[in-house]
Amino acid sequence: MNGVSHTWEKSGPPTARLRRAVTPLARSLGSATYVETVVLLGAVLALDSADRASLGALAPAIKGEFHISNTDIGVLAAAVSIVGGLATVPIGALTDRVHRARLLSISIFVWSAAMLATGLAVTFVWLFAARMFLGMGTATGGPTVASLTGDLYPPKQRGRILSWIRSGELIGAGAGFLVAGAAGALFGWRGVFFALAIVGVFVAMSARRLPEPPRGSQGGAGGADTPADEALRGDVTGQLVHDAHVEPDPMLTLPKDVESRSLWWVVRYTLRVRTNVIVIIASSLGDFFFSGLQLFAVLFVVHQYGVGKYAATGLVPVVGIGALAGLLLSGHITDRLLARGMLSARVVVSAWSFIVGSAVLVPAFFTHSLVAAIPLFVIGAACLAAPNPPLDAARLDVIDPRLWGRAEGIRTVFRIAAQAIAPLIFGIVSDAFGGSSAGGLAIAFLLMIPTLLANGIILLFATRTYPGDVASAQASAGLARAREHAA
């Protein structure tokens, strides 16, 4: 914590307005420095989700102006994901080597320029090209946020911290739906993207103030040098693995020259970590469903329940509160369960969240009563959001800190591929079964719900692999620190 404060002071004090805004949250987390950094990292994630939600909320206006279909809207959403997926692995490699705050700031400036180009589009081809350019800006967020979070916050608090950072995605999505709907009516859909570009510039300037902690400064997945160091870092996962006498896998113990290894070597290594592979699959399937839901939710509500577009966007805060509650509760719950000795808490909570969510959402898409649907969607949204913080923390637990950027870049390829293909598949299926009608969209959602159930089942298998993978990452990080001290 002292290292975080010291780094922040070197990079410049935050604005007085930001400090006043985060004071209530600082009381909850115990440190204003923690919160100021969390707010900025959350803002980075909020930009991307705000853009995706805005595209969904503005879909009717964009379809009308360019005379395109649901499938074309899906193509626009997919363009960002495809380019981002291609760029995220080399960006992850950069994250492990360069100043992360500067890299993040530059990428957000690129994102803002793409937003401006989107608002200026006069043809569908131009619009599509602008969205592809946007993908270059979104590629940096995942690797840099994950790497900085792992080095700024100790393992025992990562679930809670990541829940607050991840809340930026929900806040951005909610703002995208609500503000885009209202602002689009007043200023047109182009004005919304111009406004997002301006916001992006301010976030990019603020991101330059983020701390740049030493790699592995929070002890990685474990392997504290002494009991005092271990207590300082809050390495609860490492302590539980040690107490359970879990042995590391020698094949996963990293050599000292990890930084110089080829990208292909890193890909092969991270895909040998079984828990990491399971988490990649589960989180990608969750993103697949959520991406389609996010894009077509407003159209579904309008046609399924016979309400106006503005009334439909007005329901977003209600469902968003449920999602935010699930997000924040899961981080707190898993951290508390870990403190009580439940080593696999992160994957168990995530697994059951997906299973319950899949059961709740089925009747929600069948009913034609808005009153009956709202509580189901609120609970379903909470279950969909809940796995994100614990799964993010679990990935940091099982990967050596020296690989966090590249490992997150590799995971982001799969995540973005899911986000890219989901809008296209949802659009094709809904068009095949009636286009924008309630029936077509409802069938599309119902056909995709089994992916959520599959998530829960897959994650239950991770309870067997997680302890050993944590032990391996712990041993690897410990050896790296021992070599550094010897040198």
C-alpha 312: how far from chain center: 25
Q: What is the pLDDT of residue 353?
A: 94
Residue 32: band (very low, low, confident or very high) from pLDDT cuts 50, 70, 90: low
Q: Are 46 and 169 in contact (CB under 8 A)?
A: yes
Please state which of the ranges 77-81, 138-142, 153-157, 343-347 shows the lowest mean pLDDT: 77-81
Let me know if domain 2-11+30-219+254-486 sits in CATH 1.10.260.40. no
Q: Is the pLDDT confidence value at 18 over 70?
A: no
How far is 397 from 158, CA to CA, in rounded Å?
10
pLDDT at 90: 85
Kindly tell me if the per-residue pLDDT of 151 is higher than 60. Answer: yes
**DSSP label at residue 449:** T
pLDDT digit string, tens, across residues 157-190: 888 888 889 888 888 877 877 777 677 777 888 8
Separation CA 374–CA 283 (nearest Å): 25
- Predicted confidence (pLDDT) at residue 221 exceeds the cutoff of 50: no
Name the band, by pLDDT with cuts 50, 70 and 90, for residue 33: low
- Please determine, for residue 288, whether its predicted confidence score (pLDDT) is greater than 80: yes
Between 124-133, 211-220, 420-429, the lowest mean confidence (pLDDT) is in 211-220
pLDDT for the residue numbered 15: 47
Pair of tokens at residue 185: 């009516």
Helices and strands, number each (H, E), in the chain: 21, 0
Q: What pLDDT does residue 300 have?
A: 80
pLDDT in tens, 386-437: 998 999 899 888 988 888 888 888 888 888 778 778 877 887 887 887 655 5
- Band the pLDDT of 232: cuts 50, 70, 90: very low
Report the candidate in 95, 112, 178 with the shortest Cα–Cα distance to residue 410: 95
| pLDDT score at 231 | 34
Domain range summary for the chain, segments of one domain joined by +: 2-11+30-219+254-486
230 pLDDT higher than 50: no
3-state secondary structure of 415: helix
| Residue 298: pLDDT over 70 | yes
Give me the mean pLDDT over the 270-288 stretch. Answer: 90
**65-104 pLDDT, tens digit each:** 888 777 788 788 777 777 877 788 888 888 888 888 889 8
Segment 29-47 shows an average pLDDT of 76
d(CA 295, CA 435): 14
pLDDT of residue 426: 81
pLDDT-based confidence at residue 23 (cuts at 50, 70, 90): low
Residue 308 near residue 302, CB atoms below 8 Å: yes
- Is pLDDT at 229 greater than 60 in this prediction? no
Average pLDDT taken over every residue of the chain? 79
**Per-residue tokens: 470:** 């944590």
**For position 391, what pLDDT does the model report?**
92
What is this structure's pTM?
0.76
Q: Is the pLDDT of residue 348 over 50?
A: yes
